[in-house]
């Protein structure tokens, strides 16, 4: 069958991905092996096995490795080991992130959200939009999403402890959280892990059952301390790598509602008749 010019173009692009790019990865692998005096021949059987698999199944199903397993500990260990190859270190992180994002979008997260017993949220970039205007003295004006507020209030009414941890010192944000019923509010924070420890000591909930949603590097340490780290769609790349779930919604645009609803639905508590009996915001 003759292909038209547009189809030929995209066939060529696909071939670049499937052949030219892959051959460069072979070259990169060879350089890494030489660094430790290992021959490229040790990889040849694995290369043949991988090539055979894509003849028997679709490439998506054939994908293996730490990125598709969401094994961030291995990914970080590999990146650290590539410190003498900064270009390959960056490439490793970028490709791992793309594999993660692709497969996380197709993964069933029901089991993950069934474990949630408490919620913790950052403010800037999560409950509030990352890009905002400034007031007269130069402080960012925080936004608030009513759907996030509705979900937070309902989660609290169902018995879920909810905390907010922020480096900001905004009285308006504190008042809003108080109105929503948030009992655990931490502001002007430099060390979010200490706030997590306090929250655990007060609630008795294990860190493995806590969902934390953050968006930037200041959230990296606490996200590695909880069992259910999640992120908004516009989070920093390093945070997306750490997250076990990435919302399709951006910070300040309903991402907190997204994860709360998923948790309640997975636990059979997102019942319309019950929710309608509670006041909205």
pLDDT in tens, 30-39: 999 999 999 9
Query: What domains are there in the chain, each with its CATH number?
Result: 5-104 (1.10.1040.20), 110-276 (3.40.50.1000)
What is the value of pTM for the model shown?
0.64
Which neighbouring-strand residues pair with 211?
A: 119, 228
Predicted pLDDT of residue 54: 86
d(Cα 211, Cα 152) in Å, to the nearest integer? 13
Q: For residues 128 and 252, what is the distance between their CA atoms, to the nearest angstrom?
A: 4
d(CA 23, CA 25): 5
DSSP state of 168: -
pLDDT > 70? residue 249: yes
> Does residue 26 surpass a pLDDT of 90?
yes
| Among the listed residues 104, 148, 115, the one whose alpha carbon sits nearest the alpha carbon of residue 264 | 115
Task: Note the pLDDT of residue 206.
Answer: 94
Edge-to-edge strands, sheet with 245-246: 184-186, 162-165, 118-121, 210-213, 228-231, 245-246
Closest alpha carbon to 43 in 64, 28, 60, 62 = 28
Mean pLDDT throughout 119-143?
Answer: 77
pLDDT tens figures, 43-56: 999 999 889 888 88
What is the phi/psi pair of residue 266, to 5°?
-65, -25
Encoded tokens for 187: 């502001």
**Exposure string for 168-191, b = 16+ CB within 10 A, e = fewer:** bebeebbebbeebebebbbbebee
Per-residue pLDDT tens over the stretch 78-102: 999 999 999 999 999 999 988 887 8
% of residues, the chain, pLDDT over 90? 66
């Amino acid at each position: 069958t003759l292909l038209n010019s547009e189809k030929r173009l995209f066939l060529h692009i696909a071939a670049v991905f499937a052949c030219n790019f892959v051959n460069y990865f072979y070259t990169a692998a060879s350089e890494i092996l030489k660094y430790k005096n290992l021959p490229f021949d040790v990889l040849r059987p694995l290369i043949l096995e991988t090539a055979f698999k894509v003849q028997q199944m679709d490439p998506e199903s054939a994908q293996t490795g730490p990125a598709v397993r969401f094994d961030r500990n291995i990914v970080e260990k590999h990146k650290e080991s590539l410190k003498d190859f900064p270009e390959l270190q960056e490439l490793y992180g970028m490709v791992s992130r793309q594999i993660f994002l692709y497969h996380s979008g197709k993964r069933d997260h029901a089991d993950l959200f069934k474990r949630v017993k408490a919620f913790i949220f950052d403010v800037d970039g999560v409950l509030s939009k990352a890009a905002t205007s400034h007031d007269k003295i130069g402080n960012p004006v925080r936004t608030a999403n009513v759907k996030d507020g509705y979900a937070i209030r309902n989660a609290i009414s169902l018995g879920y402890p909810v905390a907010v941890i922020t480096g900001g010192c905004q009285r308006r944000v504190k008042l809003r959280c108080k109105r929503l019923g948030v009992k655990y509010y931490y502001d002007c924070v430099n060390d979010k892990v200490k706030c997590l420890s306090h929250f655990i000591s007060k609630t008795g909930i294990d860190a493995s059952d806590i969902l934390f949603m953050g968006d930037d590097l200041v959230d990296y340490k606490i996200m590695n301390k909880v069992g259910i780290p999640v992120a908004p769609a516009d989070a920093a790349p390093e945070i997306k790598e750490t997250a076990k779930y990435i919302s399709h919604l951006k910070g300040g645009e309903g991402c907190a509602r997204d994860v709360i609803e998923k948790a309640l639905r997975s636990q059979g508590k997102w019942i319309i008749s019950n929710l309608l009996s509670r006041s909205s915001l």
